[in-house]
Amino acid sequence: MDSGRPSRTIWDLSVIEAILHPEMAPEEEVPTPPECTPRKVWMHTSIDVAAMKADFFTAVDRYFKE
């Protein structure tokens, strides 16, 4: 169904995890590309995939145990 990929990133969940746990996704203020309106924006420079995955599945497990 998904071109045979063994895994996929669910980006919207990573954004929620970054909001809930900013330490899992550091940010840096950067300028927009030249073709855009010039301004500074905040960009996540990396994400801690293992920590986000663990937190997500812990929350899911907790939900179903209640």
Q: Print the domain residue range for 30.
A: 12-65
Q: From the centroid of its chain, how far is CA 52?
A: 8
Which residues have a Cβ under 8 Å from the Cβ of 41 and sit 6 or more positions away?
A: 29, 30, 31, 32
- Residue 4: inside a domain, yes or no? no
* pLDDT of 8: 72
- Residue 6: inside a domain, yes or no? no
- Residue 2: inside a domain, yes or no? no
With 80 as the cut, is the pLDDT of residue 11 above it? no
Q: In the chain, helix, strand, coil percent, each to 5?
A: 45, 15, 40
pLDDT, tens digit (0-9, with 9 covering 90-100), for 14-64: 999 999 999 999 999 999 999 999 999 999 999 999 999 999 999 999 999
- Distance CA(9)–CA(49), nearest Å, equals 9
Q: Name the more confident of 30 and 2.
A: 30
Number of domains in the chain: 1
Put simply, whether the predicted model's pTM sits higher than 0.75 gets the answer no
- Residue 34: inside a domain, yes or no? yes
- Residue 44: inside a domain, yes or no? yes
**For the residues of 15-39, what is the DSSP string, one character each?**
HHHHHH-GGGS-EEEEEPPTTSPP-
